[in-house]
Structure 1
Amino acid sequence: MSNTELSDSQSHLTEKQATPLSNPSGEFVVQFWGVRGLVATPSSNTTRYGGNTACVEMRVGTKHLIFDGGTGLRLLGKTWQELEQPLEAYLFFTNSQSNRIQGFPFFGPAFVAKNRFHIYGSAASNSASIKQCLCDQMLQPHFPYPLQVMQSELHFHNINPGSEVKLGEMTISPALINTHQRSVGYRVNWQGFSVAYVTDLSKNPEQVEQEKILQLIQGVDLLIANSTYAPPTAHNNDSSNLQWQTAVDLASKAGAKSLVISHYHPDDDDDFLDRVQSEIKSSFPKALLAREGMILSVSK
């Protein structure tokens, strides 16, 4: 695997293979389990980058964080179940749209009594809490089993953008980055390292939103951001630069040391994303396109 230096400092980003849930050296490790936006797209044309919707795992010291619960959450859950040990993790949702929560009913570890999960989210555009949104999608006729069937300890927390969540030495800071979609971005700080998960960027953020985003991602070691695109009926792969430019511009302004683009449009196949990977390097050399299963370690 490649080893990419992020800056002139001692910080660097390492792409490597690792055993899920293991973090023996107490590092800051990021793994991508779902990289697709809108809807899952399993096909022969998405095998290299992946077809599952949003789910990113962060192993930070002894803590295990999950950001978004798209269909990639099911894969993460299957891996964790193989470990046959009690689990505790923290789930942070950016919003309550279907592509961010649709994997939760299939998250196997949540059905095991010995496990404990802390679930964080802000109010949806209709004022529903994250608990209500997760419950509603598991009601008939949408799903055969209600959330109450899950035997693990589920602790729900309503977060307000601008507040902080402290977990030992780690601080998770949420910010409202897309007012229209009521979407939250997160910054994780731990022992001098930082990763920002900002995956609902609009093509032209309003000035107030842009200021909040820049404040959240200022100087991060790793920025995980989305591609932006028109609605599905208007998607055009010929204008790839328009999809990635917002993330690149914000990363440059904020002095982010490295950038990972994720949340691809359903029509973005592997060949198209290969071309984008080459193109984006010319604008931001420390940029990568996320691939399902990719593991990055932020360390000294």
Structure 2
Amino acid sequence: IKFWGTRGSFAKPGPTTVRYGGNTSCVEVRADSGTLIVVDCGTGGHALGQHLIAAKSSVVKGHMLISHTHWDHIQGIPFFAPFFDPGCAWSIYGPKGLSHSLRTTLAGQMEHSYFPVSLSQFAATIQYHDLVEGAFRIDDVNIVTRYLNHPALTLGYRFEADGATLAYCCDHEPHSSALGSGRLPITGIDRRHVDFISGADIVIHDAQYTASQYAESKIGWGHSSPEYAVRVCQDAGVKRLILSHHDPLRDDAAIDRIVEEIRTRLRKEGSPLEVEAAAEGLSLHLSGDPKSLPERSKAHFLAETPINIFSVTRPALLYLADSAMSAILSEAIKIEGIPFRVMADDKALLRGVIENSPSLVLIEHNPPRIDGLEIARAIRRVEGDGKIQVPLVLVSAGSHPASLESGIATDWLIAPFNLSYARTRIRAWALRTAIRWIRADIPVDENRRLSELHDLAILDTPRDDRFDRLTRIAAAAFDVPIALISLVDSDRQWFKSSFGLNATETSRDAAFCAHVVHQKKEMVVHDTLQDDRFADNPLVTGVPRIRFYAGVPLILEDGSCIGTFCIADTRPRELTTADLATLHDFRNLTLQEIKRKH
């Protein structure tokens, strides 16, 4: 790990910042295998780029992870020399918006009004990757992403490789402002932050404002105090904390004093936590037992999951008595392009939840005027067990309760907040909802597979009793309302036979069968509402409201998978080994009929 930029908000070169550095955020991370990852590209990215070009033989390929697109984290991108080298290939990753991709956002920052060079003038091969909360992998490095608390949509990154763990958390603010002092127990939503960095060997953490500065005038600005960073790292069992994102008004001597005060206190407490301040040129080496590498990333949702815009076309419901908060939230939701309804009372809100399957619910918690927590409990009772819960956010003035009831509120939004902050939080909540439907990956042999399918000349042919007989018997044999012979084309799944379903085709994006085609093996989903791949799929949330699915692949002699024989039900159910064998028999009979002239 090497630091090339440590400053926050604004670059501050000069004689008083020589030791810790004046460039804005940029960190180089390398795995022992040689995998190169650059985290953020503030003005420190210029020197790093020059360094990499000087050693080009070892940097043909690289990866850049952007925490968010505020200028102090991307100003170095137009000056990053490897992007202008046609011999280089880079992937750039960053948080996905609802309506704008990472590439679009970066292009806007380099628009001609602000800068003379555009993204299109990069000579290197550049690929852009939009990220949400979850996990993904770059070569041998497992990476977990988590939304941080900042006025712009911001991701923290947790890296797991070589038996060691590094967490990067710039920019982040306590969810409860009272925790900025570092004196109170970490509770409520802030426990999620502790969980994210839990057990890390090194945490690089935002520490822009002192606790007193934060409390006096910086609440809502999106940054932490060193005291808060220390407290969360202690609770998380972190070994080493690197304070970063130094305020441009803080000189080297001031940083020295902060670090010494923290170290003195930790020594008195007998804490094993090591603390130092990030400095340009500081290099750290992490080593561990690769066999002991945490498996946290495997338990997370895929961070590169495509966004399901269908999910955020459902309305958001608002129930607030405070006119100022209601006005800000209504405007924020409107700007984000999400339809919304303002509910008159709690009864109307409950009806709205039942009738509209909302994408988000925001309720004021200000008892006795509005007891948002009690209304939230009522909503959870209406939803019942075994159903996907609507994202439910309680809006309150001051701090949220120290103890949050499990499974009641998804999150809390604490006033005062401005329009920008409200938009960011709403976007994060909406994206968490939107990623509950995963499209199937494209098979590696897609071109050959489609060629074989089209050569059969079976698509869009009339109904055929040879196939209809099979789906009719299968529906009776398994006692299910739906049985299908599905052929997966380039952008659709077309049904050669459909029992119990009036449609002749659906979008490939929504097709369960597309997952079977990609995997080339059977797939059984016992309850779609409990499976993140399908919980918000339109075939689940809308007609025919599939709750159970089982499909087996139709594989030709050359190995091409052209579709499936599948069954579905509107209620959850199990499938025995004998049932699965019978489903394979129906698949084999279907393939025999396909081989004949149709």
TM-score (normalised: structure 1): 0.82
> Within 2, Cα distance between the matches of 1:154 and 1:205?
39
> Within 1, Cα distance between the matches of 2:70 and 2:233?
25
Displacement of 1:204 in angstroms is 4.5
- Would the aligned equivalents of 1:248 and 1:283 in 2 still touch at CA under 8 Å? no
> Relative to 1, partners in 2 of residues 1:98 and 1:127: Cα closer, same or farther, differing over 3 Å?
farther
Identity %, equivalent residues: 30
> Relative to 1, partners in 2 of residues 1:271 and 1:128: Cα closer, same or farther, differing over 3 Å?
same
> Within 2, Cα distance between the matches of 1:167 and 1:94?
16
> Relative to 1, partners in 2 of residues 1:248 and 1:127: Cα closer, same or farther, differing over 3 Å?
farther
State the one-letter code of the partner of 2:192. K
For residue 285 of structure 2, give the secondary structure of its aligned residue in structure 1. Answer: strand
Q: Deviations over 1:128-154 (max 9, x none)?
A: 322112111222121111111111010
State the one-letter code of the partner of 1:264. H
> Within 2, Cα distance between the matches of 1:192 and 1:46?
35
Q: How do residues 35-50 of structure 1 correspond to structure 2 at under 5 angstroms?
A: 35-50=6-21
Tell me which of 229, 236, 250 is aligned to 1:247. 229
Q: How do residues 64-103 of structure 1 correspond to structure 2 at under 5 angstroms?
A: 64-85=36-57, 86-103=59-76
Q: How do residues 1-300 of structure 1 correspond to structure 2 at under 5 angstroms?
A: 30-61=1-32, 62-85=34-57, 86-124=59-97, 127-161=99-133, 163-178=134-149, 180-205=151-176, 209-229=189-209, 243-284=225-266, 285-300=273-288
Displacement of 1:234 in angstroms is 5.3
State the one-letter code of the partner of 1:133. T
State the one-letter code of the partner of 2:61. E
**Structure that is richer in helix per residue:** 2
For residue 284 of structure 2, give the secondary structure of its aligned residue in structure 1. Answer: strand
Displacement of 1:210 in angstroms is 1.7
> Within 2, Cα distance between the matches of 1:71 and 1:180?
21
> Within 1, Cα distance between the matches of 2:19 and 2:125?
36
- Would the aligned equivalents of 1:63 and 1:89 in 2 still touch at CA under 8 Å? yes
Q: Deviations over 1:242-285 (max 9, x none)?
A: 83111001100100011000000010001111111211212445
- Would the aligned equivalents of 1:175 and 1:212 in 2 still touch at CA under 8 Å? no
- Would the aligned equivalents of 2:11 and 2:23 in 1 still touch at CA under 8 Å? yes
> Within 2, Cα distance between the matches of 1:274 and 1:52?
18
> Relative to 1, partners in 2 of residues 1:274 and 1:179: Cα closer, same or farther, differing over 3 Å?
closer
Q: Deviations over 1:78-116 (max 9, x none)?
A: 101111325211111111111111110100110000101
State the one-letter code of the partner of 1:190. A
> Within 2, Cα distance between the matches of 1:57 and 1:208?
33
State the one-letter code of the partner of 1:183. T
Residue in 2 that maps onto 1:5: none
- Would the aligned equivalents of 2:13 and 2:23 in 1 still touch at CA under 8 Å? yes
- Would the aligned equivalents of 2:162 and 2:287 in 1 still touch at CA under 8 Å? no
**Structure that is richer in strand per residue:** 1
Displacement of 1:209 in angstroms is 4.5
> Relative to 1, partners in 2 of residues 1:179 and 1:199: Cα closer, same or farther, differing over 3 Å?
closer
> Within 1, Cα distance between the matches of 2:193 and 2:94?
18
What is the number of equivalent residue pairs in this alignment? 262
Q: Deviations over 1:171-198 (max 9, x none)?
A: 0110012164321101000132100001
In our comparison, the structure showing a higher alpha carbon Rg is 2
- Would the aligned equivalents of 2:146 and 2:196 in 1 still touch at CA under 8 Å? yes
> Within 2, Cα distance between the matches of 1:84 and 1:228?
34
> Relative to 1, partners in 2 of residues 1:215 and 1:37: Cα closer, same or farther, differing over 3 Å?
same
Q: Give the unaligned 5+ runs of structure 2.
A: 178-186, 219-223, 267-272, 289-598
> Within 2, Cα distance between the matches of 1:178 and 1:262?
16
> Within 1, Cα distance between the matches of 2:189 and 2:66?
19
- Would the aligned equivalents of 1:201 and 1:247 in 2 still touch at CA under 8 Å? no
For residue 199 of structure 2, give the secondary structure of its aligned residue in structure 1. Answer: coil
TM-score (normalised: structure 2): 0.42
> Within 1, Cα distance between the matches of 2:164 and 2:71?
31
State the one-letter code of the partner of 2:148. I
Residue in 2 that maps onto 1:15: none
Whose RCO is larger (CA < 8 A, sep 6+)?
Answer: 1
Displacement of 1:47 in angstroms is 0.4
- Would the aligned equivalents of 1:121 and 1:129 in 2 still touch at CA under 8 Å? no
Alpha-carbon RMSD:
2.0
- Would the aligned equivalents of 2:37 and 2:65 in 1 still touch at CA under 8 Å? yes
Q: Give the unaligned 5+ runs of structure 1.
A: 1-29, 236-241
> Within 2, Cα distance between the matches of 1:57 and 1:272?
26
